[in-house]
Amino acid sequence: MRPPRTERGRLVLALCLAAAVTVFTATVPLLRGWFDLRVYYGAVNTWVHHGGRIYDYQVPGTTYGFTYPPFAALSMLPMALVDLNAAIAGALLLNLVAVAAVLWILVGQELRRHGWFGWALAACALALLEPVRDTVSFGQVNLLLLALVLADGWLLSSGRGRWAGAGIGLAAAVKLTPAVFIGLLLLARRWRAAAVATAVTAVATVLAAWAAPDASRFYWTHAVWDTTRVGRLDYVSNQSLQGVLARLAAPGEPSRAAWALAVVLVLAVWVWRTHRALRSGDWPAAIALTGLVSCLISPITWVHHLVWLLPSFAVLVHARRLRIAAVLYGLLCSSVVWLWFDDASGLDGFLGSNTYVWITLGLLLTLPTGRPQVTHRPLTGSTSGPAPATVPVSGRPVPSPSGFAAGGATGPLLEAGGRPGTEEPPAHTPRS
Name the E strands within 282-358. Answer: none
Mean pLDDT, to the nearest integer, of 8-28?
78
What band does 15 get if pLDDT is binned at 50, 70 and 90? confident
Residue 81 predicted with pLDDT over 80:
yes
Confidence (pTM): 0.84
Span 109-120, pLDDT tens digits: 777 777 777 788
To the nearest 10 degrees (0 to 180), the angle between helices 283-297 and 355-366 is 150
Q: Do residues 235 and 217 lie in contact, with contact meaning Cβ atoms separated by under 8 Å? A: no
Per-residue pLDDT, 29? 57
CB 284 within 8 A of CB 188: no
Confidence of residue 371 (pLDDT cuts 50, 70, 90): low
List, for residues 152-181, the tens digit of each pLDDT value: 988 887 777 778 899 999 999 999 999 999
> Per-residue pLDDT for 400 more than 80?
no
Phi and psi at 393, nearest 5°, equal -115, 130
Strand ranges in 235-277 using DSSP code E only, listed in sequence order: none
Q: Is-cis flag, bond preceding 399, omega within 30? A: no
CA–CA separation, 20 and 12 (whole Å)? 12
Percentage of residues of the chain with pLDDT beyond 90: 56
pLDDT tens sequence across 43-77 = 999 999 888 889 998 888 888 889 999 999 999 99
- Looking at residue 253, its pLDDT comes to 87
The rounded distance, in Å, linking the Cα atoms of 426 and 149 is 29
Instruction: Provide the H-helix boundaries in 129-230.
Output: 130-138, 142-157, 166-174, 180-187, 191-211, 213-221
More confident residue, 231 or 305: 305
Give the pLDDT confidence score for residue 412 in this predicted structure: 60
Please report the DSSP string for 349-399 in residue order: HHHHTTHHHHHHHHHHHH-------B----TT---SSPPPPB--BTTBPPB
Amino acid 144: pLDDT:
96
| pLDDT over 70 (residue 215) | yes
Query: What does the alpha-carbon distance between residue 418 and residue 301 come to, in Å, rounded to a whole number?
Result: 31
Residue 332's pLDDT is what? 94
Count of CB atoms situated within 10 Å of the CB of 224: 14
Rounded to a whole number of angstroms, the CA Rg of the chain reads: 22
Instruction: State the Cα–Cα distance between residues 16 and 9, nearest whole angstrom.
Output: 11
For residue 260, pLDDT beyond 70: yes
Task: Give the C-alpha separation, 427 to 99, whole Å.
Answer: 25
What pLDDT, on a 0 to 100 scale, did the predictor assign at position 373? Answer: 41
Q: What is the pLDDT of residue 416?
A: 47
- Tell me the C-alpha distance between 279 and 272, whole Å: 11
pLDDT in tens, 335-355: 899 999 988 888 999 999 999
Average pLDDT over residues 318-337: 92
Q: Distance between CA 185 and CA 193 in Å, rounded?
A: 7
pLDDT at 6: 78
Residue 423 has pLDDT above 70, yes or no: no
pLDDT greater at residue 30 or residue 66:
66
